[in-house]
Amino acid sequence: MLDLYTWTTTNGRKPVIFLEEVGSLPYRIHPVDLGQKQHMAADFKALNPLAKIPALVDSEGPGGKPATIIESNAILWYLAGKAGRLGGADEAARLTVMQWLMFQAANTGPTCSNLHFLRAVLPERPPSEVARHAREARRVFEALEARLGQAPWLGGDYSIADIAHYPHIKREADNNPEFKEFPKLLDWVARMDARPAVQKAMTMKMG
């Protein structure tokens, strides 16, 4: 059994999308309400000392022993290996998936999160900082647009690379007026939106 400790954030939704997509790995969700500071509780920090969701506990990890996995993209990579799905069909495909998974972790996630924080959360928004993060976001979107001009999905076939990107890009597509300049990325968002597993995971109530 998989025990997923998560919440309704962009990173928190990612493993839920994967688990709903494959449908073959039994799992339980343990809501960690960030607004109530539940991530700061000692029992959760025992899973992740940085007190960040999501965290996954697999009662039947490598060698049949319990395993704890933190960081959303590491969880996706682990689950793809466990299920034998959505991680790339061969070595070359796995390399492509891994590159775009790391692109999300290093670029898309931090850039979109920073821009969202500046635009929607921070009471005082320094124009120079908003402009700087907007420029970096455009670079990320341009790179993704170019990639989707080469293949229908970021990893070639549909994969954890797409799942990792989706919650962040979906939020930008819904809230960033500049997104209309990236038609291939908008088409990708629409195709992701249409997947039943994505719809279920993105609307699933937690707590």
Grouping H, G, I as helix, E, B as strand and the rest as coil, residue 29 is: strand
**pLDDT score of 123:** 64
pTM for the whole structure: 0.95
Give the model's pLDDT for residue 31.
98
pLDDT tens-digit profile, the chain (207 residues):
999 999 999 999 999 999 999 999 999 999 999 999 999 999 999 999 999 999 999 999 999 999 999 999 999 999 999 999 999 999 999 999 999 999 999 999 999 998 888 777 766 777 887 788 889 999 999 999 999 999 999 999 999 999 999 999 999 999 888 899 999 999 999 999 999 999 999 999 987
**How far is residue 77 from each of residues 73, 97, 141, 174, measured CA to CA in Å?**
6, 10, 23, 27
- Please state, in angstroms and rounded to a whole number, the distance separating the CA atoms of residues 111 and 81: 28
Distance CA 152, CA 187 (A): 10
Task: Look at residue 126 in the predicted model and tell me its pLDDT.
Answer: 76
pLDDT of the residue at 207: 76
3-state secondary structure of 176: coil
- All structural domains of the chain, each given as residue ranges with its CATH number in brackets, are 2-85 (3.40.30.10), 91-195 (1.20.1050.10)
